[in-house]
Structure 1
Amino acid sequence: MKIHNKLFLILFSFTFSIIAGLVVLIQWSIGQGVIDYVNAKEIKALEPLVTKLAKQYESSASWDEVIRDNKSFRRLVEAELQSSQFSEFAERPSPRGRSMRPPPPERGRFDMKGPPRPNDIAHYALLDKNKQPIRGRYLDELTYINTPITVNNIVIGYLAVSKRDNLVDGYELDFLEQQTDYLWFIAIAAALFTLLLTFLLSRHLVSPVKKIATGMHQLTQGHFTTKLTLDRKDELGQLSEDFNTLAFTLAKDEQVRKRWLANISHELRTPMSILLGELEAMLLGVREPNTQNISSANDEAMHLKRLIDDLHMLNSAELGGMHYTMQPTDLTILLNTIEQKYQVIFEQHTIKLYLLNSAQYANVEADKTRLLQLFDNILMNAVHYAQCTTISITAKNISKKGQSFIELSIEDNGVGVESSHLAHLFEYLYRVDGARNRQEGGSGLGLSICKHIVKGHNGEIVAEKADLGGLAIIIRLPTI
């Protein structure tokens, strides 16, 4: 079953159950209210009898003198109710326009023989001040309303009238039947309205879900340009925005993947073509297999090996295979080691190295071998490609979001990089100058490896414009 049908059935069943329950409850409440009203009205009609009994008791000081037997008590009650709707002897018009003859007196109302359904009619009794029956009919299984009879503010007895549990005839019964008909008519109308409202509401809720499901199906088919336009401010609207973000990310990753495959195939094909061309030329006798030609072929083979090694390292980093042996490392000592290590290379390329260390805390949790590889990639890029004469390494302590870092800034005064390229320098096989050949531009993987090494140390690396005029590589590592 589709989610639209499920949601519709759930909402309609729940709402219909509430409406049916309310109808039954309201019907019961109206019925009880009408019965209570009839009982109260009957008590009101007997108030003159209470006054009359009090006056007669005051003159005789005894109930035996006032009411000698049940028949006399019955006649008193009948005489008081004769002109009211509770009279069983007077003819009264029907509220529906038909004539109603007064029913015959019910047996057992005042004598001791009970009727088949005593709750449907009223029973009357006279009680003494201790609520003990004196005259009339008083049944233990019925509930009575006791009206006190007082003389000089002293209770001398009670007039007890039983409560009716049902209406057998009269205006109130017709009113109750009429209200029941109206109530069920309203219930049916409400159910039909609920049916329509539930259908529209379920469609309103499920419609964006269907669009999102369709969009997800498009993504599984590789259509990453799919975009949802849901003008909603709820969770489904947020889900559609997340869907668009996911689609954009997948489209971008797909472009990166295609560019990656194209660049890799190009980078591998170029040295392989040159190597095969030189070997084929020597095999055909076009070129002599002397030391110079073999050395040229070996250079291409070594370039191919370095590229494959870099690709393997990046793949290991992506898969979590680049392992780190972390231990406390003093970067001050490490920077002094780097200065001595590259002194000869810098002198050969007429480059001056300046080391400015103002950091008071230089201890980090790091893999010393990986950090040396990090600095080697950055410094060799500056030596071979930046065309610089000065390189400065600055170290200082900073605080960021409550965490202490040591910031290393490696700057040069070379040709630099345009601002539009800075954010892409750490991407795979990215070259600033597309026309630069691979001898001048390298493999394009060195800075990508640097990014993975820094990330493995829970740090961050960015590229900025250098104050010296060239490129600045900023590395931030958390201190111990």
Structure 2
Amino acid sequence: MKIHNKLFLILFSFTFSVIAGMVILIQWSIGQGVIDFVNAKEIKALEPLTLQLAKQYQKTPSWELVIGGDKNFRMLIESQLENSQFLSKLPKSPDPRGRMMRRPPPSEHIVLGARRPPPENIAHYALLDENKQRIVGRYLSNLNYMTTAITVNNKAVGYLAVSKRDSLVDGYELDFLQQQTNYLWFIALAAVLLTLLVTFLLSRHLVSPVKQIANGMHRLTQGNYETKLTLDRKDELGQLSEDFNTLAFTLAKDEQVRKRWLANISHELRTPMSILLGELEAMLLGIREPNAKNINSANDEALHLKRLIDDLHMLNSAELGGMHYTMQATDMALLLNTIEQKYQVILEQHNIKLYLLNAAKNITVQADKTRLLQLFDNILMNAVHYAQCSTISLTASNISIKGQMYLQLIIEDNGVGVEPSHLSHLFEYLYRVDSSRNRQEGGSGLGLSICQHIVKGHKGEIKAEKSSLGGLAIIIKLPLFKA
């Protein structure tokens, strides 16, 4: 069964059960209330008799003298209820003189309603003494009675007991109860129809975006990464659709990177291998002499291929968590001075001046010193081989981001720079700004990717921007060590 149908049936069944239960409960409550009202009304109708009995008892303090027997007691009840709904209007029988006579009531009870009701709906009346013991009337142990005290001088001298009715058989109260029941079921029917409509619309409202997301996910599994959902919602499903679009965009981007990676790696491996094989084949065929110069040329290509494979292995280790770090407190001022001295000679050979601007004194970072040296080596050598610059500036300073202190390192040059469209791709594998891939400029195109893994391994951030000197700026942020 589809989720739309399941949701519809669950919501409708639950709501229908609640409505039906409430109607039955309200109907029972109204019925009980009407019955209690009728019982209370009958007690109210007998209050004048209670007052009359109290006055007679005050004059003659003996119930036998006041009431007499059961027949007199029944006549008193009948006379009191004669014009009320509680006394049965029995058909009259003609007397010998042609007049109609009221048929005497049954000796065992007073009848309720215009027709003789079932025995369980008949009211029974009794007179009790001050200890609630029967004097006259019918006082049955299996019935519940309501009692009204007969008081003389604020003292109960007896009680008038009336059995409680459990249901109605006649009277306007019964008509009222039937009318209310009809209204209730009419309201219930309207509520069920409204529930049917609301449940259908609600289930469709909830399931429709789920269907769209499911269809979109199916298209993703088929490799269609251009899929995009357009759900204008502000709830969790709207957030899910946004996450879906982000996932689709990421997959599309990763697919492009994967294709570029395959193209680049095949080119990077094929080029030195083709050159190496060509030189070896030329020497084997005697076209080129196997002298030291030609052998060194072949060896250079082999070394270049080895460096490429080593970098690929390092990146793979980083992706799999195999690039290990030995973290320890590292004095950055001392490390920066070491870098300045280490690269002084090679930078002078390329007519490049290095300016170290260390505004962060006594800064300690939890870092792997060897990896940081590798980080600076890749960035500085990238500037030497590609930037065509004459000046490199390395600036260190402290910054605070959301209460966390960072060491910010900015390495920038005044070289040819990089177009803004390339900045976000510089840290991708084998990405080259120079599409010609000039082999004379060296490098594998993996240096900056390795730098990114090293910085992330130190829980830092790295990005590329346009330099204030006119070339390229690499900005690194490392969290400071808390002693």
Fold match (TM-score > 0.5): yes
Cα shift readout 1:51-103 (whole Å, capped 9, x = no counterpart): 322332343344333212221111000111122221124569xxxxxxxxx99
Change (3 A) 1:379 1:104: farther
Cα shift readout 1:361-407 (whole Å, capped 9, x = no counterpart): 32222222211111111111122222222223222333322222222
Residue 142 of structure 2 aligns to a residue whose secondary structure is coil
Cα offset for 1:106? Answer: 4.4
> Residue 223 of structure 1 corresponds to which residue in structure 2?
224
> Residue 4 of structure 1 corresponds to which residue in structure 2?
4
Residue 462 of structure 1 aligns to a residue whose secondary structure is strand
> Residue 57 of structure 1 corresponds to which residue in structure 2?
57
Whichever residue aligns with residue 361 of structure 1, its letter is N
Alignment of 1:29-428 (within 5 A): 29-90=29-90, 105-109=105-109, 119-151=120-152, 155-428=156-429
Whichever residue aligns with residue 420 of structure 2, its letter is S
Change (3 A) 1:191 1:479: closer
CA contact (8 A) 1:125 1:138 kept: yes
CA contact (8 A) 2:129 2:158 kept: yes
Whichever residue aligns with residue 409 of structure 1, its letter is I
> Residue 464 of structure 1 corresponds to which residue in structure 2?
465
**CA RMSD, Structure 1 to Structure 2 (Å):** 2.7
Structure 2: gaps (5+ residues): 93-101, 111-116
Cα offset for 1:38? Answer: 1.6
Change (3 A) 1:378 1:8: same
Cα offset for 1:177? Answer: 4.2
Cα offset for 1:325? Answer: 1.7
> C-alpha separation between the residues in 1 aligned to 2:354 and 2:201?
74
> C-alpha separation between the residues in 1 aligned to 2:135 and 2:293?
141
Whichever residue aligns with residue 266 of structure 1, its letter is H
Cα shift readout 1:444-463 (whole Å, capped 9, x = no counterpart): 21111111111111111222
Whichever residue aligns with residue 245 of structure 1, its letter is T
> C-alpha separation between the residues in 1 aligned to 2:145 and 2:398?
93
Residue 161 of structure 1 aligns to a residue whose secondary structure is strand
> C-alpha separation between the residues in 2 aligned to 1:191 and 1:340?
86
TM-score calculated relative to the size of structure 1: 0.89
Whichever residue aligns with residue 380 of structure 1, its letter is M
> C-alpha separation between the residues in 2 aligned to 1:142 and 1:333?
103
Deviates more, 1:250-259 or 1:272-281: 272-281
> C-alpha separation between the residues in 1 aligned to 2:68 and 2:104?
25
- For this pair of structures, how many residues does the alignment match? 466
Cα offset for 1:334? Answer: 2.0
Cα offset for 1:107? Answer: 4.8
Cα shift readout 1:35-61 (whole Å, capped 9, x = no counterpart): 112212222222332232233234334
Change (3 A) 1:201 1:450: same
CA contact (8 A) 1:260 1:429 kept: yes
Change (3 A) 1:466 1:188: closer
Cα offset for 1:342? Answer: 1.8
Change (3 A) 1:304 1:103: farther
> C-alpha separation between the residues in 2 aligned to 1:107 and 1:63?
20
Cα offset for 1:17? Answer: 1.6
> Residue 16 of structure 1 corresponds to which residue in structure 2?
16
Identity %: 78
Residue 260 of structure 2 aligns to a residue whose secondary structure is helix
